Structure 1
């Protein structure tokens, strides 16, 4: 469920553009790997758990739109703590993209719209 007025994905010609995808559990507000205080601020998080969750969400969106994992051609990664999380993210990323390697850009951002540590922006080809 997007947190604003935008689609999860939009097809333009043979390309599928995914809006920013976070690790929130599909169909709920639960964020795997995150512990929040009473005000909704992050107390702690597990970047590995969030990475697995965000990759699963990307897979759901691609498949719902008629595309697939092997069709990904470009990934933009937004991390809120590059220094602490980049190495772990790279290890998990390698599990998912060992044989299929799209272009990738990784940037650090100050914050994301929900209390998450990672968000992906993906472009895929429609088969």
Structure 2
């Protein structure tokens, strides 16, 4: 019996390589980096605003499939193609974490898959005191 469980949902884009949308173990959910791909159409919206919303919506969908929520996120990593987009991304990001925000790293990268502008990954609790978040 494995202590690790694969997280999979049709509400987020499917994994396109040898990785899972997420995994969970020991009360934690690990969400793979989510690109701003609309799971219904496979399309990437234009602009940092729409892409940030879509990436975070995809993170939320993967976490929900694990019994977690944005409110139970402990740590995120945001990958940006251009740090000039940080203020816009940061404002949108803040709206997804209105209470206590998680720890976060933001990294500028040379290139992301499908030439998107942003990618977000997260680690969250799947339960707190035995109650799903």
SS of residue paired to 1:114: helix
What displacement does 1:2 show? Answer: 1.5
Aligned equivalent of 1:81 = 82
The answer to whether structure 1 residue 118 and structure 2 residue 118 are counterparts is yes
Aligned equivalent of 2:15 = 2
The TM-score, its normalising length taken from structure 2, stands at 0.81
Aligned equivalent of 2:10 = none
Q: Distance in 1 between matches of 2:33 and 2:49?
A: 18
The TM-score, its normalising length taken from structure 1, stands at 0.85
Is the 2:82–2:108 Cα contact (8 Å) retained in structure 1? yes
What displacement does 1:27 show? Answer: 3.6
Q: Which runs of 5+ in 2 are unaligned?
A: 1-13, 128-133
SS of residue paired to 2:63: helix
Q: Distance in 2 between matches of 1:102 and 1:60?
A: 17
Tell me how large the CA RMSD over aligned residues is.
Answer: 1.1
Q: Distance in 2 between matches of 1:100 and 1:6?
A: 30
Is the 2:33–2:121 Cα contact (8 Å) retained in structure 1? yes
Q: Distance in 2 between matches of 1:25 and 1:100?
A: 27
Q: After TM superposition, which residue ranges in structure 1, 4 or more long, deviate above 6 angstroms? A: none
